[in-house]
Amino acid sequence: MNKITTKMKRHVRHELKEEGPTIWVGKDGLKPNVVAEVEKQLQREKMVKIRILRSALATDTAKAIATRTAEQVGAALVEVRGHVFIIYRRRRKEPEAAKQQ
């Protein structure tokens, strides 16, 4: 999991304050398709707000799901508040071969 400074955490929270969650973790929990969507949105936006539905919390806590998500995509966990969490990751550079095509 990546480290993030306190100043950067404040910035990310401020940026996403008015935004709604863009990904929902449902009763099936953290499936590969959810992780793939998180990866895709992080590549595009750098920061993602995710809501965990109550049915997903039957087996795990919100903090555990948030931590596992951040670890799987190599991002920093910014905040867990209730059933909503925010993760941040700097954009990964595209390989030079992919840019030229």
How high is the pLDDT of residue 62?
Answer: 93
pLDDT digits (tens, 9 = 90+) for 7-42: 999 999 999 989 899 999 998 888 999 999 999 999
Residues 6+ away with beta carbon under 8 Å from 12: 4, 47, 78, 86, 88
Residue 42 located in a structural domain: yes
Say if 96 falls within a structural domain.
no
Domain-embedded: residue 101: no
Q: Would the pLDDT of 92 be above 80?
A: no
Q: What is the pTM of this model?
A: 0.83
Q: For residues 77 and 29, which has the higher predicted lDDT (pLDDT)?
A: 77
Domain count, the chain: 1
What CATH number did the domain enclosing 35 receive? 3.30.110.60
Q: Is residue 59 part of a domain?
A: yes
Average per-residue pLDDT for the chain: 88
Residues listed for the chain: 101
Which residue, chain included where needed, has tokens 């449902």?
A: 26
Q: Is 100 domain-assigned?
A: no
Q: Would residue 41 count as lying in a domain?
A: yes
Inside any domain, residue 68: yes
21 domain residue, yes or no: yes
Q: Which domain holds residue 73?
A: 6-90
In angstroms, the first-to-last Cα distance of the chain is 32
Interatomic CA distance for residues 41 and 44, integer angstroms: 5
- Return the percentage of the chain with pLDDT > 90, whole number: 63
